[in-house]
A and B are shown apart, each in its own frame.
Chain A
Amino acid sequence: MKTVMILNGSVNAILKQAEELNNYSIKNFSKNSLIEAWILTDQDVNFNTISFSPHINCIKLVKVRTKHVAEEYIKAIIMLYEKCKPEIMIFGSEAFVSGLAVRVACRLKGSSCVGVKRNQYLEKHFIVEKMVYSNNLTAKFIMKNMPYCISIAKGFNHMTEQSSITDDSEAYQKLPNVETVTFKTEVDTEWIRSFTFELINTEEGLNTSKVVVAIGKGIGSKEKVVLYEKLAALMEGKLGASRPVVMNAWMPMERLIGASGLIIAPELCVAIGVSGAAAFTVGIEKSKFIIAINKDQEAPIFKIANVAICADCEEVAQALINKLNGRI
């Protein structure tokens, strides 16, 4: 089936979009499938910085006038659609582009689905799978009408279990053919009287950091904190602490994770010397992956961890620091 993926080149996050769409296509399409990439953008795109999965055989580049007017993007996509008539259109996970999927499908009398984890073609039906009921249940839907416009679920850019990406790294070297398509928009933007843009300050704090090391009273004393600061820094993460640690004044109050402090959801949380009282775990349980290090075999923190080491915290931390130093 003729498939395209659609990227918004007007934002800096195009690299992230490309990565998530690559991972999605690797997971959902056979090696021989060919997919076109359509990039809609109001600015120049540096293709050398973007990696495209081996599926991508052709890139179509369309210049639009605005960064943020969905109606213009929809028109541009429909123009391309009329030229190529793809059957499957895949959009990224971000709300602006997933909104395009829904509205394009509506105008083309196709079907749309937001947050798709997987798709398959079975007995002439295009079937998609997504999480519903707040991530508690998995639902499968038949998409009734072509074109099938789907936006993918969040998190494909952090796919770690896939090794095929690195195996095929050579395929990434070749840049597919880029074709620039001209598009004359007649979209009315009269309703927008004025606008300003501002880039979100992405300076990382404890609550936005992708990696967090959280220490508990089990580290022993205030003097040991510096060791864990070093460990966090080597992983480009931030250091947080449980309530007993800040109440002992080993670390300042604003580093407090848990019920009376920050509720964090990093990609990786390393909890060291934390017993795992509920007041603390509520602060980290949304983390994607939790590593727990504690000397006490029965510490409740192990119940919410993915991986655990039962050993002396300082020894483990020191060994990890050595390893991390060694890799540079």
Chain B
Amino acid sequence: MNILVCFKNVPDLDALSVNDWLIEDHFQVDTSYVRTMLNPYDESALELTLKLGDAEKNDDFKLTALTVGTSHLDKVLKTLYALKYDLGVRLDCKSDIRFNPCFVSRMICNYVKNIKNHQVIILGSQSNVGDNAKTPLLVAEGLGIPCITSVIGIKLAEQKDCLSITSKIDDLIIEQIVKAPFVLAVGDVPTSYIRVPTLKDRIQYKEKEIKVFTLEDLEIKENDVEEENDTQLIELSYEKNGRNCVFIQGHHSSEKANVLYKEYLMERIK
């Protein structure tokens, strides 16, 4: 089985302080000062897939990790090599694709269609900058294959080319055995951290080559970036939303309690 996991590296937005949220020209927010990390949903997707690999003894089982962006990401792909991903792919792109999942999914689709086919494509549901929550769905549409959302578990199945997928819809948990090809959008997996490679493995895979493909390789024109998008960003703003504590006044405790009950508590409980 040939599995493609698409991931994004994102800034650790929690490390930004209130004063760091400055909106610059072209709706840019400078997050270069904070460290980057794997997008949490993607991290789950990468680890779920590694666990699948732990269980599978078949040599035809191949894992590819793919990301979109500049050469800064090669370091992350090398870490994934050290964790035994078979192939690391970077779709080279310098454009502002934060709010353009249409374009990102087109790149992924073209990679799968033109360069290398994969039976199973796994992506995180959403990432923390654009918060678009569209890419996996659009990849499925672009390739014309089914998509399962809110995936929380992936296991091997006995049938050929099949996997056992656990997913959620509201308070319903669905477990199904499905035959590839399909797209999985990984949701809130209870365990979300990816394993850590040993120093030895990191050194061993340090020089392993990353496959890089340009827009041209993907038969996409630079101009298509905005053309492709179905929405257009027109405003980005920051509101500091800390809690502003209101102190309830009163002569004695029960008077304060009454105010609390009437004005705040009553409407919040059944």
Contact = CB atoms under 8 A, between A and B. Distances in A.
A139 B187 CA distance: 23
Contacts, number: 247
B147 A99 contact: yes
B141 A139 contact: no
Which size class do A's interface residues fall under? 35 or more
B151 to A, nearest CB: 10
Interface in A133-179: 133-134, 136-145, 160
Contacts of A192: 176-179
A266 to B, nearest CB: 10
Interface string A233-275: 0011100000000000000000000000000000110000000
A106 B245 contact: no
B245 A306 contact: yes
A322 B172 CA distance: 39
Interface string A52-87: 000000000000000111110000000000000000
A278 B243 CA distance: 16
Contact of B237 (A11, A138, A141): A138
B61 to A, nearest CB: 19
Nearest to B263: A307
Interface stretch (A26-34, A217-225, A288-296): A288-296
Contacts of B258: 319, 323
A180 B157 CA distance: 39
A105 B72 CA distance: 34
B246 A267 contact: no
Interface in B46-95: none
A94 B256 CA distance: 39
A194 interface: yes
A196 B169 CA distance: 13
Contacts of B198: none
A128 B185 CA distance: 24
B87 to A, nearest CB: 25
Contacts of B178: 191-193
A244 B102 CA distance: 52
A134 B159 CA distance: 40
Contacts of A133: 13, 29, 128-129, 131
A323 B257 contact: yes
B265 interface: yes
A127 to B, nearest CB: 7
B131 A308 contact: no
A15 to B, nearest CB: 11
Nearest to B260: A309
A110 to B, nearest CB: 7
B175 A136 contact: no
A38 to B, nearest CB: 17
Nearest to A304: B243
Interface stretch (B110-118, B200-208, B217-225, B226-234): B226-234
Given A132-B131, A144-B230, A197-B172, A95 B29 contact: no
B2 interface: no
B interface, over-half SS: mixed
Contacts of B248: 307-309
A13 B170 CA distance: 7
B221 to A, nearest CB: 19
Contacts of A320: 257, 260-261, 265
B24 interface: no
Contacts of A141: 99, 231-234
Interface in B124-138: 125, 128-134, 137-138
Contacts of B131: 114-115, 130-134
Nearest to B264: A307
A95 B245 contact: no
Contact of B245 (A11, A114, A236, A305): A305
A4 interface: no
A113 interface: yes
Given A105-B230, A143-B231, A193-B162, A312 B253 contact: yes
A1 interface: no
Contacts of A69: 146
Interface string A21-50: 000000000000000000000000000000
B253 A319 contact: yes
B129 A289 contact: no
B216 interface: no
A136 B239 CA distance: 8
Nearest to B150: A95
B146 A71 contact: yes
A106 B257 contact: no
A112 B230 contact: yes
Nearest to B229: A144
Contacts of B133: 95, 98, 102, 114-115
Given A12-B171, A315-B254, A142 B231 contact: yes
A268 B261 CA distance: 13
Contacts of A193: 157, 159, 162, 176-179
Given A132-B131, A192-B177, A308 B234 contact: no
A59 B246 CA distance: 44
19 contacts: A99-B147, A102-B138, A105-B230, A132-B130, A132-B131, A132-B236, A133-B29, A136-B16, A140-B235, A141-B232, A160-B268, A200-B171, A235-B269, A306-B244, A307-B260, A315-B252, A319-B253, A319-B257, A327-B266
Closest 10 CB pairs of A and B: A319-B257, A315-B253, A195-B176, A140-B235, A319-B254, A111-B230, A13-B170, A141-B231, A114-B133, A193-B177
